[in-house]
Amino acid sequence: MWSARKFVWNRIAIMKFRANKPATIPVPKDDGRKLEAVGLASQFPNIPVPNIRVADHVPADEASALKSTFYDGQVALYSGFAPMEAGLPPIDADPIKALDEAYTTGHRSCFPAPVLPEEYRGEVDLGYLAVASPYACYLARAPEGGYHWDLRGLARHEHHEGLHSLGVRVLFRVNTAARRLETVKIDSELGSLTPGQPRWELAKKLALCAVTTDVSMVRHFNGVHLAAGGPLAIATRNCLPADHPLRRMLWPHMFGTQYSNELVTKGQMAPGGDFDSIFSLTHRGMCALFQETYEQYNLIGLDPRRDGERRGIVGAGFDTPALTNREAHFDVMHAHTLNYLKLYYTTPTALASDPAVRAWTESLERLVPNGIRSVLGPEITLESIARLCAAFLYMASVEHEILGTGLWNYQMWTHVQPVRVYRNGQREPLDVYQRLVNANFNLHVKRAQLLQDWSYLALDPAGVQAFRDFKQALEGLQQRIAAEPAAAWKISPAILEANINA
Q: What would the pLDDT profile of 320-343 be if each residue is shown by its tens digit?
A: 999 999 999 999 999 999 999 999
Task: Determine the average pLDDT of the residues in 201-209.
Answer: 98
Q: What would the pLDDT profile of 117-160 be if each residue is shown by its tens digit?
A: 999 999 999 999 999 999 999 999 999 999 999 999 999 999 99
Residues paired with residue 497 on neighbouring β-strands, in sequence order: 449
In a domain, 392, yes or no: yes
Task: Determine the average pLDDT of the residues in 491-498.
Answer: 97
In a domain, 273, yes or no: yes
Range of the domain at 32: 2-115+206-495
User: Residue 73: its pLDDT value, please?
Assistant: 85
CB < 8 Å & 24+ apart, contacts of 57-63: 57/33, 57/258, 58/258, 58/259, 58/262, 59/31, 59/35, 59/237, 59/258, 59/259, 60/32, 61/26, 61/29, 61/255, 62/255, 62/256, 62/257, 62/258, 62/259, 63/259
For the chain, the residue count is 502
Look up residue 149 and give its DSSP letter.
E
Global pTM value: 0.97
User: Residue 502: its pLDDT value, please?
Assistant: 60
Query: Which residue did the predictor score with more confidence, 21 or 295?
Result: 295
Q: What would the pLDDT profile of 367-398 be if each residue is shown by its tens digit?
A: 999 999 999 999 999 999 999 999 999 999 99
In a domain, 475, yes or no: yes
User: Residue 501: its pLDDT value, please?
Assistant: 82
Collapsed DSSP state (helix, strand, coil) of residue 178: coil
User: Residue 157: its pLDDT value, please?
Assistant: 98
User: Residue 64: its pLDDT value, please?
Assistant: 82
User: Residue 104: its pLDDT value, please?
Assistant: 98
Query: Which residue did the predictor score with more confidence, 349 or 330?
Result: 330
Least confident of 30-34, 62-66, 245-249: 62-66
Q: What would the pLDDT profile of 461-471 be if each residue is shown by its tens digit?
A: 999 999 999 99
In a domain, 450, yes or no: yes
Where residue 51 falls among pLDDT bands split at 50, 70, 90? very high
User: Residue 13: its pLDDT value, please?
Assistant: 95
- Residue 473: in which H helix or E strand, if any? helix 461-482
User: Which CATH number belongs to the domain containing residue 364 in this structure?
Assistant: 1.20.245.10
In a domain, 384, yes or no: yes
**What's the total number of domains in the chain?**
1
Given a contact cutoff of 8 angstroms between Cβ atoms, the answer to whether 381 and 351 are in contact is yes
The residue type at 102: A
Task: Supply the mean pLDDT for the chain.
Answer: 96
* CA–CA separation, 215 and 204 (whole Å): 17
Task: Determine the average pLDDT of the residues in 460-487.
Answer: 98
**Would you say the C-alpha torsion 139, 144, 150, 153 has a positive or negative sign?**
negative
* CA–CA separation, 406 and 411 (whole Å): 9
User: Residue 68: its pLDDT value, please?
Assistant: 81
In a domain, 77, yes or no: yes
Collapsed DSSP state (helix, strand, coil) of residue 425: coil
Instruction: Estimate to the nearest angstrom the gap between the alpha carbon of 52 and the chain centroid.
Output: 17
